[in-house]
Amino acid sequence: MTADLQAELDIKKATGWIIALSIILIILGIVAILIPGIASAFFTAVIGWITLISGAVMIVQAFQAKPVRGFWLSLIVGIFYVIAGIYILFNLGSALLALTFAFGILFIVEGIYTIIMAFTNRSGHRMSWLVALNGIVTLILGIMVLNRFPSSAIWLIGLYVGISLLMSGVSLLAAALSTRRLVANL
């Protein structure tokens, strides 16, 4: 009986973190939907900083692991990452176009994968229809991104990422609450 209680507490703790994450995703989604131009620039700048920092870490690692094979490859890749990060940060418009295209492809792939997952894994049990809806909406968003490219890239990426974050947060919240109910009924 103690093991069952501990397992139930572990599931509650895990779903508590998932619920918190889903609420954060919902809030970020709403903010991105309300101010899509700023959200687009923000997401692009974040990608630039992540790329720049990743490149710097790769360069440092290349020198720390110098005796290991692949020093030059690690160093060159790190330098390219730093250059790409700097380029993104100083050319947000061009980077935004490239990211808009990449997000279009990503949303299509994510939508298809989520739809398949909803029907094969039945994630969320009775709420799997919401996971499938998330996949359908994400797939449609991906198609719309590529259909309108590049004319409205400035606001599309922020709006679509906001909608995707909102739908992901809602479906994740529903799946976590469904799991909690299922465990409580056992």
Report the distance separating Cα 116 and Cα 126, nearest Å: 16
Q: Reduced to 3 DSSP states, what percent helix, strand and coil does the chain have, rounded to the nearest 5? A: 90, 0, 10
Strand (E) or helix (H) holding 44: helix 36-64
For residues 31-57, average pLDDT: 93
Burial (CB count within 10 angstroms: exposed 0-12, middle 13-18, buried 19+), residue 147: exposed
Cβ-based neighbours of 166, under 8 Å, separated by 6 or more: 25, 26, 29, 30, 33
Buried b / exposed e over 55-81, threshold 16 CB at 10 Å, is beebbeebeeeeeeeeeeebbebbeeb
Tell me: the pLDDT tens digits for 142-162? 898 889 888 778 888 788 789
DSSP 153: H
Tell me: the pLDDT tens digits for 81-129? 999 999 999 999 899 988 888 888 998 999 999 899 888 876 556 767 8
Query: With contact defined as beta carbons under 8 Å apart, do 37 and 158 qualify?
Result: yes
Strand residues in 64-170 grouped as ranges (E)? none
- Rounded to 10 degrees, the C-alpha dihedral 105/111/117/122 comes to 170
pLDDT tier, 13 (very low <50, low <70, confident <90, very high otherwise): confident
What pTM did the predictor assign? 0.65
Check whether 1 has a pLDDT greater than 70: no
Cα–Cα distances (Å) from 122 to 117, 164, 175, in that order, read: 7, 20, 10
pLDDT tier, 65 (very low <50, low <70, confident <90, very high otherwise): confident
